[in-house]
Structure 1
Amino acid sequence: MLRKLLFNTQIVLRQQKKLQCTRNLAAKAAAPKILEPVHIEEAIKLEPTLSIYTPELWRRAHETFQNHGLETVNFLRIVTANPTVLRRTPERIISSLEIWRACQFGETLLHLLLTKYPELLDVSDSHELLSHVGFLKSRVSTNKNVWKLLMNSPDLLAQSEKSIEEKVDYIMDVMRIEVPELVKSSGLSMSLEELRCRHEFLVRLGLFKPRAPKADPDEPTTNHKLYQITDTSEKTFATKICHVTLPEFEAFKDLHAREIERKTRKRKEEEDFSDDEE
């Protein structure tokens, strides 16, 4: 189930604009705990597919979420981004909430996560979710750090443990970046190849110097923060972080890809030769 969850960046960005509108809408309500007809009308303007649902379905879903601590503003943000929630039975909605409560993020943090990414309510396999969250916790130590990771990179739920492991190892062992900085970025949403390419480009420009293995992690560094390296467009990374032109970075990307391909091919040839020797 987790592998089927898709987190398209552009879709999420469009949803965030909708969610901001629903927040403003609910903030204007005289009684924010009550779902007013105007709320429904404005939500339909933002997401026309909501028009097929009856007032009774709206009332039932709103009451269910409200009974579990989510205010009207959160409810509106959720259904605007994930309209199919409205047709779910109260039992199914409650089941989805309980699956996530088992992750032990705490009610406040959980509500923030589900409101930001309502598609997470589509998760139905509690065993798989807890297993994946447990794996993430083994790398970042605490439930709150797992929550921070998911707030920045919800697509981690659709990534394999092997893929995540490789990127965490690279960030911590090669870039020498510690967990507190890692969880404040969406670096794990980036492919290992792209992460390595951006890091290597900074290194070759003399703009990134890894800490010594035994250095104090609290010691100040001139390196850019991980989020500045990973949470930026290619143009912003090139011009604002690396102080070069976008074409220059694109040229390096091509050279770096060929370099990696050449090293991979050479390593495979050496392994094949070794096998023949045996």
Structure 2
Amino acid sequence: MNNHSAFRQVVWILRRTSSSIFSLFQSGSYLQPSCIRCKLFCSKSSNLLRPGGANNEQASPQRPTSPELPLSSLLDMGFTTPQAEEIYQSLSKVHDGSATKNRSSTLMVLFMLGLNPSSVGKLLTKCPDLYNIDQSLLQQRIDNLRKLGLVEGSLQRVVSHYPAILATPAKALKRKTVFLKEKCRFTMQQVTDILRDSPAIVHEDQDQLEYKFQYVYFRMGIKQAHMVKHKLFRSTLEEIRWRHCFLERRGLYQTPDKNGQTLIVNPKLDRIINVDLESFLARTACASAEEYVVFQKLLAREWQEEERHHGDESDDDDSDDEDEEDEIESRDSYRKRRRK
């Protein structure tokens, strides 16, 4: 949706507001639905739009009302009938007061972002929590994504694909970007590329994320540039470990030495994680599905035994700590647990 189309959507909304709303828009502020006579935002006028007029206020309970955005207004905004009905129903289920006030302004901000009605409808279906976010805060989060390097086009695709990124507090997003830069040593451009290709990373557990990075970096010998190029963070840690260990046990993958050298040619990361299981087995592992299933069962048993073994070691008072004080403290702690 180009800027001209977005502008037309916004103008349509603005024409249904009072002149005071125009002054807010011209001063850089976005729409605040405060006009009592506004067709789009006023509950009384929306009552009049429904069959039976104002006397139909006690409507049938089979169809909950969404007084701030009647179905007819959604249709006028460019939504198809199925899209309008879906949004109308989702709005009707939202009973939070702040969400009611934010309904129109949420649509305003999304249209100003350059999204068309179809994209807006799908986006709100995926993440109805956006109705609970104040319009100024929603706009700030969009601006923050721009500051992180998501340019026009990429920004719209990210928001459409993963709208929950707009429900992420700025501090949480900043913590994740700082983690990627300082702990994982990605460049700022690489961080931008990661957010563009794998926006769900903002909600991934940071400990799991760190372990995933360390596993691929140290065990597989993959550098940051290749992680970004092959969109590593779209894959789960479990999937990466299964496939890597399977190749390793079959002699098809080797951890590089400190100079990055191996005795065999390792398959590219792209051929390990960015293909479906059937293609991975046929083209990369050269194995059958039955072999892979048996391997998974055996490896799962190994991992369970390792975890049990490590758990036993943690309870052992014969620690090999170099620091004597730490050794004494852990021994005392162990003895206390034994007494209990």
Q: TM-score, normalised by structure 1?
A: 0.69
Q: Which secondary structure state, in structure 2, belongs to the residue aligned with residue 165 of structure 1?
A: helix
AA partner of residue 82 (structure 2): K
Which of 104, 115, 122 is 1:80 aligned to?
122
Please identify the structure whose Cα radius of gyration is greater: 2
Q: Distance in 2 between matches of 1:60 and 1:189?
A: 32
| CA 151–249 in structure 1, closer or farther in 2 if over 3 Å, else same | farther
- Counterpart of 1:204 in structure 2 is 249
Structure 1 counterpart of 2:178, one-letter code = G
Give the distance between the partners of 1:226 and 1:165, measured in 2 at CA.
18
Q: CA deviation at 1:181?
A: 1.2
Residue of structure 2 in register with 1:134 after alignment: 178
Distance change (3 Å), C-alpha of 1:274 and 1:189? farther
Residue pair 1:64, 1:93 contacting (<8 A) in 2 also: yes
* Alpha-carbon distance change, 63 to 162 in structure 1, aligned in 2, over 3 angstroms: closer
Aligned counterpart, 1:40: 78
Number of paired residues?
A: 239
List aligned pairs for 1:143-162, cutoff 5 A: 143-162=188-207
Is 2:142 the partner of 1:97? yes
| Structure 1 residues 38 and 209: alpha-carbon distance in aligned structure 2, compared to 1, 3 A threshold | farther
RMSD of aligned residue pairs (Cα, Å): 3.6
Q: Which of the numbers 147, 151, 157 marks the counterpart of 1:107?
A: 151
Equivalent residue letter for 1:130 = K
Report if aligned partners of 1:148, 1:183 keep a CA contact under 8 Å in 2: yes
Deviations 1:160-187 (A, max 9, x none): 3221111111101110001111123443
Shift of 1:254: 0.6
Structure that is richer in helix per residue: 1
1:201 positional shift: 0.6
The answer (yes or no) to whether the contact 1:208–1:224 under 8 Å persists in 2 is yes
Structure-to-structure mapping, 1:106-125, within 5 angstroms: 106-108=150-152, 109-123=154-168, 125=169
Identity fraction in percent: 20
Give ranges in structure 2 of 5+ residues lacking alignment.
13-74, 93-101, 321-330, 332-340
Report the AA paired with residue 244 of structure 1: A
> What are the Cα deviations for residues 74-95 of structure 1, in whole angstroms up to 9, with x where unaligned?
x642442224446865424313
- Which residue of the partner structure matches residue 184 of structure 1? 229
The one-letter code sitting in structure 2 at the alignment partner of 1:132 is K
- State the distance in 2 between where 1:233 and 1:64 align: 38
For residues 16-35 of structure 1, the aligned pairs below 5 Å read: 32-33=5-6, 34-35=8-9
- Quick check: 1:65–1:71 contact (8 Å CA) kept in 2? yes
Q: Distance in 1 between matches of 2:285 and 2:250?
A: 8
Change (3 A) 1:254 1:211: same
Return the alpha-carbon distance in structure 2 between the equivalents of residues 151 and 140 of structure 1: 18
Contact 2:242 2:296 in 1 (8 A): yes
| Deviation digits for residues 184-208 of structure 1 (CA, Å, limit 9, x no counterpart) | 3443354434322211111122222
CA separation in 2, counterparts of 1:276 and 1:92?
52
Change (3 A) 1:63 1:47: closer
> Which whole-Å CA distance do the structure 2 matches of 1:213 and 1:258 have between them?
31
Q: 1:193 to 1:59 in 2, by over 3 A?
A: closer
Residue aligning to 2:95: none
Instruction: Give secondary structure in 1 for the equivalent of 2:251.
Output: coil
Residue 105 of structure 1, CA deviation: 1.7
